[in-house]
Homo-oligomer: A and B are copies of this chain.
Amino acid sequence: MDNTQIKILLVDDEPDILEFLEYNLKKEGYHVLLGKNGLEAVDIAKKEHPDLIILDIMMPVMDGIEACRIIRNTPSLKNSLITFLTARNEDYSQIAGFDVGADDYISKPIKPRVMMSRIKALLRRLNGTAAEQGLKIGNLEIDREKYLVYKNGETLTLPRKEFELLSLLTSKPGKVFTREDILSRVWGNEIIVGDRTIDVHIRKIREKIGDDAIKTVKGIGYKFDI
């Protein structure tokens, strides 16, 4: 419902990376908690029950792998997702990481957009237990990994904002998303754009997938409905 209710615990010993990631996550409206080693990660996680924990692997005091193992063995944290930060070719770490129950990896060097889309994809698991990849609604199929939309087999490539917006609306067909919902989840809390911007994007999406799919609920927002 609201991005700001999603808690992300960010753990890295390098202040620069921490600050960089924190900035990007907050820009999207997430509630960010910070830790600088595995021990802190475990402590904060137990108190705060974050939705997602982003763990660097190489850290002093307690490394990410060990922290992950502990977190995975803490029943109250069984709903937290864990993703590792890892330098590019650390294959051994990757194997060890999945072994202790990580849900995903983000490779350094980190590109903010890639990271955000990975994180969003991960967080969607929290809500929709249903079809994760290749979600089908009506004659549409949405592939979040490939950033593609199929309409009766025809392949459409929507620009990023349009895709994110359509993706949001289709994530819960029938549900009305208010303009605030849309702004905070597609644009992020910090970014301020005019109200007409949403309309224009809706218009462009309708142009591509057909007019009927997205319904206007005047005074409230939009919904995707078959």
* A residues neighboring B (CB under 8 Å): 1-2, 4-5, 26, 31-34, 44, 47-48, 88-89, 91, 94-95, 98-99, 104-105, 107, 113-114, 117-118, 121, 145-147, 157, 159-160, 174-176, 178, 180, 184, 189, 217-220, 223
Copy number in the complex reads 2
Other-chain contact of A48, B2, B48, B98, B174 (Cβ < 8 Å):
B98
State A60–B172 Cα separation when bound (angstroms).
46
State A223–B2 Cα separation when bound (angstroms).
33
Q: Which residues of B contact A147 (CB under 8 A)?
A: 176, 217, 220, 223
Other-chain contact of A223, B31, B146, B176 (Cβ < 8 Å):
B146
Query: Is the pair B159, A218 in contact by a Cβ cutoff of 8 Å?
Result: yes
Q: What is the distance, in angstroms, from A184's C-beta to the closest C-beta of chain B? A: 7
Query: Is the pair B113, A180 in contact by a Cβ cutoff of 8 Å?
Result: yes
Q: What is the distance, in angstroms, from A135's C-beta to the closest C-beta of chain B? A: 16
Tell whether A118 pairs with B219 under 8 Å between CB atoms, given A31-B105, A94-B31. no
Other-chain contact of A104, B5, B94, B105, B159 (Cβ < 8 Å):
B5
Q: Which residues of B contact A4 (CB under 8 A)?
A: 105, 107, 118
Across the two chains, which residue of chain B brings its CB closest to A104?
A: B5
State A220–B147 Cα separation when bound (angstroms).
9
- Report 21 cross-chain contacts, Cβ distance below 8 Å, ordered by A residue: A1-B121, A2-B117, A2-B118, A4-B105, A4-B118, A5-B104, A26-B88, A33-B91, A33-B94, A47-B98, A48-B95, A114-B189, A145-B175, A146-B174, A146-B175, A146-B223, A147-B176, A147-B223, A157-B217, A159-B218, A160-B219
Query: Is the pair B175, A47 in contact by a Cβ cutoff of 8 Å?
Result: no
Query: Is the pair A145, B176 in contact by a Cβ cutoff of 8 Å?
Result: yes
State A33–B90 Cα separation when bound (angstroms).
11
State A104–B104 Cα separation when bound (angstroms).
28
Query: Is the pair A117, B178 in contact by a Cβ cutoff of 8 Å?
Result: yes
State A47–B97 Cα separation when bound (angstroms).
12
Tell whether A159 pairs with B117 under 8 Å between CB atoms, given A31-B105, A145-B175, A175-B145. no
Query: Is the pair B218, A160 in contact by a Cβ cutoff of 8 Å?
Result: yes
